[in-house]
Every structure is written in C-alpha cells, then in structure tokens.
Structure 1
Amino acid sequence: MGGFSRSRLERVTRSLEGYLEREEILGAVTRVFRHGVLAHQVTLGWQDRENLVPMQPDSIFRIMSMTKPVIAAAALTLVEEGTLRLDDPVDPWLPELADRQILLDPDGPLDGEVYPSLTPITLRDILTNRLGIGFHLGRVPYCAMTLDYNPGPLSYAQRNQGHPRKTLDLPPDEWMAEIGKLPWRYSPGEYWLYNTASDILGVLLARATGMDLAKFLQQRLFEPLGMRDTGFVVPAEKLDRFTVGYALDSTGQKIIAIDHPANSFYARPPIFPSGAAGLVSTADDYLKFGRMLLGKGKVDNTRILSRKAVELMTTDQLNSEQRAAAIGGPGFGSNQGYGFGVATINEQTQLGPGAGAYTWGGAYGTHWVADPGEDLVIVLLYQMMSGPQHISEDFNTLVYQAIDD
C-alpha cells in the first residue's frame, strides 16, 4: 500500500516502541501518507501517564514551531488577493518598529553603539526570518535577550522547565511596543534569526485584515481544510483528548509533567496568539495541511493557494552567506535552506528526505515532512520538551527505507 514494503514499514512501529520501552518518550501518534493513501499509522503509549489515559489517534498536541508553516501559508493568501505585497514595506501596519536602531557590533553588549536602519521591513524579510531580530544558538548577549521576549506558550514552557526567563505574556499591541524598544542585531534582509519574526507576522496579519488572528486562520485554512481540532485554545469539551506536556527534570534523568490539561495555558484563549508557536493540532489535521502543500495548494477539491505560491514558499530564499550563518541554529541543518516558514532540503545527505522536500519541527516533540519527489507526507507527534535527539531522524530513516517502488 502506498508503494511501501509492509514488513519494512513495521520497523517504524518497533523503533517507536523502543523509545517508549526506554522511557525516552511516553506516547506518540504518526501518519505516513503516500500516493494518495494513508499507508501507515501508529498510536502508542500514554496521553496522560499519571492518570493512565492511553494515547488516542485524535489526541491533541502542542505543535509549537510547526505553527510557523501554517502562518506563512496564511500570509500568502493575503499576497494572492493583493492585500499584502512581498516586497513592499510593512511599516504602516507595524509603526512600533519604524524607528529601529541597529547594533554596530551584533555580538557586543546590548547597550553598545547603534545606528538607524535605513532599510525598510518587507513581508519577505518576515517570512524568511531575515527581519533582523530573533535568536540563534550562541552565547552573545543578544541571544539570551531575545529568548526573554518570547510571548505566550514558548515563554510558559521555558518557565515550566525552570529556565530563569521572563514570562512576557502581553497583548499584541503591548508586546509590539516592548519589541520596538529593543536594539536590533542586523538590518532587515541581512541574516537569518529565529522565531521573533513569526510572532510579528501574526500581529501583521491581524492588523492587515482587521481580524483576530485565530478567526483569520480559521477562515483561511482550518475551516476549508477541515482542521477541526487546530487552534490556539483547547475547548473544555476537547480537554479529554489533550496530551500532558512532559520534559526531563533538572537532572536530565526523570520525565516530569510540566503542563497538564486541567490547568494548561492552552485551556483558555491566549492573551497573545503566537504565530511562532501557539497552535495545537492533531495528526490528522496536520496531515491535511501537509497534503495541501504537497498538492501544490490543493487537497481533494479544496484550493487554498496557487501552485506558484506553494513553489515560492518551499523554495530556498537564503543566499550562501545567510545559509552558512544559519547552520547550527534551531532546527537548521547543513543540507538545508529556508523558504517561507519551512526548511528546504537542498541536497540529500541522509537516508531520508531528498532535494525538494521541506520540513519543520516543534520544541515539544513534533515533526513533519512533505516530499514532492516521493509524493509523501509524514507526521510524528509526541509531547516531550527537548526530547530524544535522534527520534525524528530515526522516523525519517525508517519510513524512507520502507519505500518499495
């Protein structure tokens, strides 16, 4: 089915069972979709270990940074209708950022010498994380500072793990005012920096449409695609399907619960709907989104984007210098580029996705790949903050080694 060897595909199941037996994760749900059929799916382990609630096929997960491809696709719907242009300045919608000051030494102190930015911010800069503000793995002062300005769920997740970070849970306008006070590390368009651009994108979309971001995404994506369980909040009637969020304790040896459905951040409408990391979803819902992109903007009889928009979204937008500087950043590998909200696979270096595929993951343990060359979408969801290092790679390998056509 789907051009797979059934016996080889069972290696996926056995591998995930191994992760559960070793207690590296507590539960998982997967989908493998190829040549128009659901070829394999797994539901394993616990949705709530402490209360002995088993994982369900429709369990709801915090997808964290897998929000980014969703909001990028939503932004392109506004480009297609002429509300926004990729290369026009967005300053009219984001006046808080109009007087940005750039650090003369991007690796130096935050109170160092600055100069005014003469380069306008464009939608393309925001979609490609080349806004000039954001974080990258490293020890320079700017990296630590921008982590303190993560709003919403990422902020709470950091706090719940015991990190000495601020919980900057502010409404969008107040958050933007705080961002506007910060020095910028680079001018717009210069370098790839992670995360903050996607939260600013969410604010931009809400302001450009005059709609609440949740309602906008519901109208443009979730309702037409039938993504019934995707949003910024888990309603009370669905909390029995919401997974517990887990992490390793301070010793790195014991799995502990850090976010429980009964008192979760996601059990109420957020003060800041995060375009970077705010959504919850299910395996089936995210598979629908992945299938839409794999189908060049169309799934079944529903078109969300044009073929050309999806091709642009999934094409590497970085130059060689920007790619080299981004390597080692969150989720960024040496064979990758970056499109709009997705990492592009520029060459095949592993037994896994080939050139032309695209992907992005989430910090709570979520992963997906769409691979046009193989007519394939795969989804892996579990809930472990900063989970096993190689589980996504193993999942990719074991799916791809099972291809038999």
Structure 2
Amino acid sequence: MNCRLYLALLILLAADRLPARTWTEASTGKKIEAEFVSATATEVTIILRGGRQFKLELARLSPEDQAFVQQQLKPAPSVQVIKAEDRFEDVKQLKAEKIPVNGTAHAALAPVDEAIREFMVEKGVPAVSFAVSRNGKILHERTFGWADADMKIPLLPGVKMRLASMTKPVVSAAIQTLVTDGRLKPEDPVFDVLELAQYKEAKGCDPRWKTVTIQHLLDHKGGWDRDASGDFTTRSTEMTEMFRLKPEELRPLHVVRYGLTLPLDFDPGNKEVYCNFGYILLVRVIEKVSGQTFTDYLQATVFKTAEALSFSLSSSDARERQPGEIWYCYHPDYPQKEIPLPYRAEARDGAGGLASTAADYCRFLEAYWISGQPRKPGARFSYSFNGSLPGVTSVSAQRSDGLNYAAIANRRGLSPADWNGDLRKRIDAALDPVAAEVK
C-alpha cells in the first residue's frame, strides 16, 4: 500500500469511523479499520463506513489478516436444503376445503375462513392462526393447516406464533404505562435514560444521539433511515465479530452498543422513517425504568390489563422455544431444528420478537389502540398493523365497525411483506359483507 493511499484512508476514517476489523500492513505495521466485503486468492476488498471500497493485495497484509481472509474463502458448511416448492407443493395441489380447520367458529365468518384457506393454497402456506373479537369478546378463533412440517398433524387453537413487527404496538403500550405512572416523559432523551455514556462505543458518537427522545423513537423519527444505510439491526455477523461472541450469545444490548458507533441518517424529529432499532431501544428503556425484564413487566401491566397471558419471547432455535409455539418456514426451508437465520430473534426483541396466540393479540387490541394508548369502551377508529420476518406474515386490524382481527402465518414471500397486503385485502373483502352479523 503506498503512502498516499494510506494517508487518504486515514483521513476518511477520521471523518467516518466504522467499528470493524483492524487490517495491518505486514511490512510497516500500519493499520486501517474497515469492513471486510469479499476476497479472491490474491486480494481483499474492504469498505469504509462512508461506503467507499478499496482492494488490498493479500500478500502485503499481516499473517493474521491473511488467515482471516482464507477463513472467509472457505465454503460454508453444507446444509441439507429442501426447496420451498418441493416441501410445500402439496399445499398448492390441495383444494382449499381440504386444509384442516379447527377452533370455535362464528357462523357468519365462514367466508373469511374460506378466503384464508384460498390464500394458503395459492401461496403454499402450511399454517395460519386467526381470531376475531368485538366488545371485549373473542367471537372466532380458528387454526388452519398443520402443527408439523410433515403436514400430518392438524393445527389446534392455542398455538403461539411469532408476531414479527406486530410486537411494536405492545412495546408502545408498555411505554405508555410508564408515562402514565409518571416514571417516564416522552421528551426524555434516551441517551440519558439508558446512561449510554458508560459504554466505550459512546465516546465520539454522533452528537445527535443525545437529542433523540422517547417520543422520537415511538414515532419512528429517531434519525435512522434503513433505506439510506440499511437495517443495521440485522448485521449479526458484524456484531458478533465486534464483541467476539458466538451467534447465540448476541443480545439486544450488543445491538444498541453497535448502533452507538454509527452516524445518524438525519436530525432526530425531522422526518418519519420506519425504524426497528428505535423499538429495540424502547425495550431497553422499559427494562431500565421498571427494573424488570421486558416480559415480566408486560405480564404485570399490559397483558394483565388485556387478560392476554400467552405472550412470550420467541427463540431463534426451535429447541429453546416455549411449549406451544409453532414451527416456521424459511426461504429456503431448513429441516433441522436450529434455523440459520441471518440474525438472532432474541437480539431484536422490541422489533419483532414476541409470540402469542391470535386470540390473545385480539385481546390486546381490545384493551389498547395500536398506537399504544389505552382503549376506552365504545370508541371507534380504524387502525391496522403488519408484521413480516423470515417465516412470518402477520396482519392485525382495529376496524371502525368495532371488529378486531389478527392473522398470523408461518411463512412469508421471498420479498419482505409482499404477502401482507394480499392477506389483509382478502380478509377485509370477506369480512365487510358480514360484519354486521358478527355479534
């Protein structure tokens, strides 16, 4: 590496830090911090946080760097993969009425059940949980499909399914209880509430971090734009490398500390951009202020009020999930119990880590608005919220006619969230003509 290039890299790094590998030139000992991108047998490509890429000759790097690159060049361990079209083609070949259905049904909602089964056949979805409520009562609780990946055992009511982003309204409700109790104010700076200055990653962090408030996070106005810089909460590999962890050791606090090292994309409050990171931070606020774990606090407050006790945190590893939680389909679909997700569900708890029954989610919708505010009897508004993760398509609604519903499927399309609108459209189209009969 020539001196001019090295100096240029140093200048860039000084203006735009990245918590990444430290690369060392063997002959001089000079160091550069940058992120690994790719490599060939003779050179490695690195990227600075500002997005600029450079190629370095592998032979000029330290033995440790060369060993690291060689490790990246090794083929990934072989994984037995069963393609989605092979494993679930049987669903697409079925007639909708052949998909098993169980649970308590309201006679007027038969067209909705039919619409859901048609969706399952068209998409190849092997399991859906669905519930409808009104005036504080569950009127319709149905499960469609199978409880096992071999599609032999019919799915029964009471099954818990991961909510994906439908977790966020629950987080908002928990924050509102702290505000109502006077333990937290919407204008409180999250940097101060969480005492983030104690972490080394906060030294020299973007000064705008200290202006981000609780309300900014609730409103998705915290300053992070996943369209501009990507959703960094899914960068599990970078985080485990940074903190020298095994994948299963990654926790939400590591995501927060990693986030401290990154620049904000805009001034907090200036615009609204959907942000998973904000809700991971909000769960840390809940735990810090309450002195309880996220789920313990929810059980003592939000879920107690809603009388919805099935909620729990979902685990990435099927062997660690609580009893009663379903299996999930991924693209591609993996048959083994340990699912190699690109991130850990546990580390993104507030962004989408909760699981519950569809009926309990409706109970939550009866007690709280999707905004998180307590719901008063008789009030009628129209709100909806979706969730999408690998293995999950979920939709929920609070309708102006007083009906609430939640539908959760254990599969999603190859493109994130491309099934949510379709599923919602089918449910609403079937529900609208019969809504007045659902009492």
Indicate the TM-score class for this superposition, using the shorter chain for normalisation. 0.5 to 0.7
Q: Give the deviation of 1:396 after TM superposition.
A: 2.1
2:419 aligned with 1:394: no
Q: Which residue of 2 aligns with 1:331?
A: none
Contact 2:252–2:280 (CA under 8 A) maintained in structure 1? no
Q: Deviation per CA, 1:226-260, whole angstroms, max 9, x where unpaired?
A: 322211157989855321111343xxxxxx357x7
Equivalent residue letter for 2:435: I
Q: Which residue of 2 aligns with 1:159?
A: none
Q: Which runs of 5+ in 1 are unaligned?
A: 103-115, 156-165, 250-255, 298-303, 312-354
Q: Which residue of 1 aligns with 2:397?
A: 369
Q: Which residue of 2 aligns with 1:84?
A: 184
Q: Which residue of 1 aligns with 2:351?
A: 276
Match of 1:143 among 230, 237, 244: 230
Q: Say if 1:20 and 1:148 are closer, same or farther in 2 by CA, change over 3 A.
A: same
Q: Give the deviation of 1:307 after TM superposition.
A: 4.7
Q: Give the deviation of 1:305 after TM superposition.
A: 3.8
Q: Deviation per CA, 1:197-218, whole angstroms, max 9, x where unpaired?
A: 0011111111122222222122
Distance 2:370 2:256 in 1: 36
Match of 1:203 among 265, 274, 284: 284
Paired residues for 1:175-194 under 5 Å: 175-193=255-273, 194=275
Equivalent residue letter for 2:212: I
Distance 1:204 1:100 in 2: 22
Q: Which residue of 1 aligns with 2:11?
A: none
Q: Which residue of 1 aligns with 2:77?
A: none
Contact 1:96–1:176 (CA under 8 A) maintained in structure 2? no
Q: Say if 1:381 and 1:286 are closer, same or farther in 2 by CA, change over 3 A.
A: same
Q: Which residue of 2 aligns with 1:213?
A: 294
Q: Count the aligned residue pairs.
A: 310
Paired residues for 1:3-402 under 5 Å: 6=107, 9-50=109-150, 52-96=152-196, 116-117=207-208, 120-136=211-227, 140=228, 142-143=229-230, 145=232, 147-148=234-235, 170-193=250-273, 194-233=275-314, 241-249=324-332, 256-257=333-334, 263=338, 272=347, 274-293=349-368, 305=374, 307=376, 356-363=381-388, 364-371=392-399, 373-386=400-413, 388=419, 390-402=422-434
Partner SS for 1:204: helix
Q: Which residue of 2 aligns with 1:163?
A: none
Partner SS for 2:406: strand
Q: Which residue of 1 aligns with 2:36?
A: none
Deviates most, 208-217 or 233-242: 233-242
Contact 2:310–2:360 (CA under 8 A) maintained in structure 1? yes
Q: Which residue of 2 aligns with 1:323?
A: none
Which aligned runs of 4 or more in structure 1 are off by greater than 4 angstroms? 97-102, 144-147, 149-152, 166-169, 233-240, 262-266, 294-297
Q: Which entry has the higher C-alpha Rg, 1 or 2?
A: 2
Q: Say if 1:394 and 1:188 are closer, same or farther in 2 by CA, change over 3 A.
A: same
The structure that is helix-richer by fraction is 2
Contact 2:189–2:211 (CA under 8 A) maintained in structure 1? yes
Q: Which runs of 5+ in 2 are unaligned?
A: 1-105, 241-245
Equivalent residue letter for 1:362: G
Q: Give the deviation of 1:58 after TM superposition.
A: 0.8
Q: Say if 1:187 and 1:149 are closer, same or farther in 2 by CA, change over 3 A.
A: farther
Q: Give the deviation of 1:274 after TM superposition.
A: 1.0
Contact 2:191–2:209 (CA under 8 A) maintained in structure 1? no
Distance 2:376 2:137 in 1: 21
TM-score by length of 1: 0.65
Q: Say if 1:132 and 1:396 are closer, same or farther in 2 by CA, change over 3 A.
A: same
Q: Give the deviation of 1:52 after TM superposition.
A: 2.0
Contact 1:45–1:55 (CA under 8 A) maintained in structure 2? yes
Distance 1:196 1:238 in 2: 23
